[in-house]
Structure 1
Amino acid sequence: MLTLPEKKLQNYLLGGIGYSAIHWKKVPHAIERGLNWYRPLAGQGHYHLPFFLVMDLGLLLEYGFETPFASEQEYQQWPEAQRAPRLRYENELLGRLLQEPNVQSILEFLQLHKDRQQRIQRLLELLMRSIAPHYPREVLVNPAHLRNFRPQAIQLSDIAEHQVQFEAFIEREDYFMSTLTQFLDNVSKHVRWSEILREEDIFEIEHWDVLNTEDLRIGCRQILEIERMLGEIDARQIAIADEGADVETAFVDETHYPTGGLSELTNRGSFENLVLSELVYIEDGPEVDLFEVRFVENELLYYLRDSGQLRRKRRSIHLIIDLDTTFQLKSSGYDYQFSILAQGFLLRIARDLFKVFEHDAVQFHFHYVTGEQDTEAIEREIEIMRLLLADEVQHGWVTLDISKELDLASLKESKRKVYAVTFSAARGQWWQKRFHETLHEHPAILGIPIQIKHKKDKETKANTPTFQLPIEGLPFQDIVELKNKVIAELAGLRSS
């Protein structure tokens, strides 16, 4: 491993440009732009990367599918021994990136924004998570030397000379080619292309103007990361409880009726979904009954399963984060602060319950209960959740509020089936007791408490189920199972 002396910096940076996969001479100010991307990355610890790699990735992000690749015009000029490795670099790294759906999505987004340099810099940082560890750490650049580096006018002959001088200095004639080949071998073995840009990365780039501080970006990224890792539930495996007829009727949404149309009809189905106009074919008398004939001939019309549900139910789901000082802590057993873990957990529950109750009129209400705590930091976190749920908030499906205390009685509704999930630490048993009481009230609140449990907490006996997160830690797969159990339990609750 060699730390490069400052006097050889120009030879190293410019000598490698001869291996660039992009026809950079056709790009205005390509070297200067590349240096603007390279300096911050070197300052973040990526000082082992060659300049041409960073420049190529930055130009690829800027020009997308219109990137001018070097092979299109210079292939015949390359030495024969370099042709295969350089084409491999172009195809296996840059071309492979262009094939990834998430990369394609972000490239399309960038093309719509003229002011995109900060976004490109951030995207380079995100790409380096997967790419940078695989480049050989043989030559290291001192980031301080880059601050004042300003290359003079570049000519093709100068680049070739810089390459010769650098490789003579380190006494390796094939340095750039051999390290590039080793890098591509490592990438082909270890990089998982489907994870090179994740959902939280795309969200951050698309909302860059709003996520204007590092705290907001980190919080938003972590909540989305938790939601993604918790994964979607299989709604087909969730049994939704039916109430008694006298109770169920109160929750019916009379404002909804199928709009019909040929696309919503079929000649196969159950009699519950029969189109009512088919009943006119029922006839009295000994003659042939047209209804029976249409039944035998499979000519009766039925609503499709979704459209056959002539009446859907109203449901209100309250997701309550009962904050205390525990939520500002991070236990060694978890990768996230408890407030972030709670919000990511409840966000995933909301997304899953949208699927479980997809045919019903569902509203979600997020409540932040602060007690006597300062609300400034909490309000910033609510802004993150409001951004993550922007579409749902705009449609009126989701609300978010903050209060010192929450009265359960204020959540009751006679025309909606009301559920509540609480995430708490100090008051887990209190919520369990309250939900046990509201289960027997009219109208009822069907509640499930989730408690961050300390070892000293005593167990309580109650009919209301309690789900616990040990403060000392829990494997993430167990948290996934906990989330699925909460949803299954909630969907199966009935009024007492």
Structure 2
Amino acid sequence: MTTEPLGPGEAERWLCAGLCLARLGGTSPEAMAEAVPWLLATHAELPALPPLGVVVDLGRLALGAPLESSRPVPDTVPSLRAAVRAYEDHLLARLAAEPRLEAVVNALARMPVELRPRGVAFLVARVLTRLGFTGGAAVNPGLARRVLEHPPAELLQTGHAALRERGAEVERLVESYESLGGAARRARVLLGDAEVFTLENLERLQGRARRLALEQAVEAAEALAEALPKRMRPRKPASGQTPSHLEDDAAFPQGGFSSVSNVGSLENLVTSELVYMEDDAGLDLFDLRYVEGELLYYTRDESLVVRRRRRVTFALLPGLTEARVKDAGLRWQRGVLVLGLVLSLVRRLSVWLGEEELRFRVVVVGEGLEAERGLCELLLREWLARGNAEVTVADRVETVLAQAAEDAKRARADVLLLGGQEVPPAPSQVGLSLLDVSQPVPRLLPSSSSEPPGEELWATWRGATLELARGLL
């Protein structure tokens, strides 16, 4: 479909006709007035607009509206009615069943009201991007704003008239809805972690460049995670276990009642034993059982929770400033892939080592990586909120290694240097690896360097991620 700007009259009829095809929440003037801010924000987000009814449907679905039973399509050509039905079945129904939709709804619900149109616009753009949709129409922004400023009842009247006239605007709508239905059937997924992450942090992502970097880092993490198995057996501990501090394990059950015995204090007495007490002042059965040691008491398990301590440090070296380049054959810059690798490893290690006292540390070494530091704080926000991760700065690599050596006194400590070219000397008790990204092919040192010659560049990143994960276990 051509993306040349539509003429004023044709654009107005196309916009209004698409608005009349909204499937969720009805097409009353009040409902349309609520959706106008979403439409204006979407036009600022996308160079070519989809039918406006699609924006309304996706916005209402993202704000928690239920998927309604099929509503009648306005009077128009049979081909458009069939295309809209296919769009309902393959896009709206599938999107309503997406497991991440609930997280998207919650993120938009927590968002300030004035920011929700921007959130809806972002979501619409991301869904259309995942579909590979190219059937939009280019409309002059000023013209679209003037049209949408008209009273909603007038917009709906113009749209219904255009649908009945069955002109060129209707043919464009047929192509758009057919394209949406077909793309939805072929798409592997409609919503991913990138959408959820960005919506949860949209208030903090003021610039488009920063938002795009966050989206791509999460996408890279999802793609790299495909190289990692769901489960992986950790290596046998090289040293004994250390009892964790009680205050560190307050969230775990410990010291509770574990059994019943004939020995204990009165505060732990089994309450059913009180039935042996009588009102008479004389000797009763309760007294006899007490003297004979036959009363039952709850006993407590006073053992400590024993878990292995693990400290994993990711050090972002100044050399990463040279990795802000995109190599042929890769979807993302090397620096974005490094951030995605950190996120994917944190996610999987949290699952694989969930029974251990696991802490992550991201250290930005030197200057020039302020943007990467901010993105790490957003990417690891979940672990930061739980106290399982921290993002700090250091002036030298030696400072990072010294902190790891201190951690190694009471835990297993591993350090991954990202962006260097040589492995510096480190204490023997610290596991040290270096990921060299100065060249298109990443090299993991001191492990094996890369995939065999002839492998695609993307395969080398997947292989390095898997090899690094095995080393950290």
Query: Closer, same or farther in 2 for the Cα pair 1:51/1:452, shift >3 Å?
Result: closer
Shift, 1:261, TM fit: 9.5
Distance in 1, matches of 2:5 and 2:231, equals 59
Query: Closer, same or farther in 2 for the Cα pair 1:345/1:41, shift >3 Å?
Result: same
| Partner in structure 2 of residue 218 of structure 1 | 212
1:376-387 equivalence runs, <5 A: 378-387=369-378
Describe the superposition over 1:438-483 as per-residue Cα deviations: whole angstroms up to 9, x where unpaired. Answer: 32xxxx222122223559x9x99x9x5364599x996323322211
| Partner in structure 1 of residue 435 of structure 2 | 450
| Percent identity of paired positions between Structure 1 and Structure 2 | 17
* CA contact 1:314–1:361 (8 Å) conserved in 2: yes
Shift, 1:181, TM fit: 6.0
Shift, 1:142, TM fit: 4.0
Distance in 1, matches of 2:257 and 2:176, equals 56
| Partner in structure 2 of residue 161 of structure 1 | 161
Q: Which SS does the other structure have where 1:133 is aligned?
A: coil
Distance in 1, matches of 2:65 and 2:55, equals 15
1:177-216 equivalence runs, <5 A: 178-179=174-175, 182-183=178-179, 185-187=181-183, 189-192=185-188, 195-216=189-210
1:393-412 equivalence runs, <5 A: 393-407=384-398, 408-412=401-405
| Partner in structure 1 of residue 150 of structure 2 | 151
* CA contact 1:331–1:337 (8 Å) conserved in 2: yes
How many residue pairs get aligned? The number is: 412
| Partner in structure 2 of residue 253 of structure 1 | 243
Q: Which SS does the other structure have where 1:64 is aligned?
A: coil
Structure 1 portions without partners, runs of 5+: 266-307, 492-496
From 295, 319, 326, the counterpart of 2:322: 326
Query: Closer, same or farther in 2 for the Cα pair 1:412/1:333, shift >3 Å?
Result: same
| Partner in structure 2 of residue 366 of structure 1 | 362
| Partner in structure 1 of residue 285 of structure 2 | none
Distance in 1, matches of 2:127 and 2:230, equals 34
* CA contact 1:327–1:339 (8 Å) conserved in 2: yes
Shift, 1:484, TM fit: 1.6
Distance in 1, matches of 2:258 and 2:181, equals 53
Shift, 1:229, TM fit: 1.1
Query: Closer, same or farther in 2 for the Cα pair 1:319/1:50, shift >3 Å?
Result: closer
Distance in 2, matches of 1:111 and 1:340, equals 29
Distance in 1, matches of 2:307 and 2:12, equals 70
1:78-93 equivalence runs, <5 A: 86-93=84-91
* CA contact 1:20–1:53 (8 Å) conserved in 2: yes
From 459, 472, 484, the counterpart of 2:466: 484
The one-letter amino acid of 1:445's match is: V
TM-score normalised by structure 1 residue count: 0.69
Query: Closer, same or farther in 2 for the Cα pair 1:223/1:309, shift >3 Å?
Result: farther
TM-score normalised by structure 2 residue count: 0.72
Shift, 1:410, TM fit: 4.0
Shift, 1:240, TM fit: 0.9
Q: List, as ranges, runs of 4+ consecutive aligned residues in structure 1 with deviation greater than 6 Å.
A: 67-70, 260-265
| Partner in structure 2 of residue 118 of structure 1 | 118
* CA contact 2:41–2:121 (8 Å) conserved in 1: no
Query: Closer, same or farther in 2 for the Cα pair 1:342/1:29, shift >3 Å?
Result: same
Distance in 2, matches of 1:132 and 1:57, equals 16
Query: Closer, same or farther in 2 for the Cα pair 1:467/1:396, shift >3 Å?
Result: farther
Distance in 1, matches of 2:341 and 2:436, equals 13
Shift, 1:319, TM fit: 1.8
User: Greater shift after overlay, 117-126 or 256-265?
Assistant: 256-265
* CA contact 1:16–1:176 (8 Å) conserved in 2: no
* CA contact 1:423–1:450 (8 Å) conserved in 2: yes
The one-letter amino acid of 2:154's match is: I
| Partner in structure 2 of residue 44 of structure 1 | 46
| Structural RMSD (CA) | 4.2
| Partner in structure 2 of residue 228 of structure 1 | 222
Structure 2 portions without partners, runs of 5+: 260-302
Shift, 1:205, TM fit: 0.7
Describe the superposition over 1:3-36 as per-residue Cα deviations: whole angstroms up to 9, x where unpaired. Answer: 5322333333224444442464435161684475
Query: Closer, same or farther in 2 for the Cα pair 1:264/1:189, shift >3 Å?
Result: farther
Distance in 2, matches of 1:229 and 1:121, equals 25
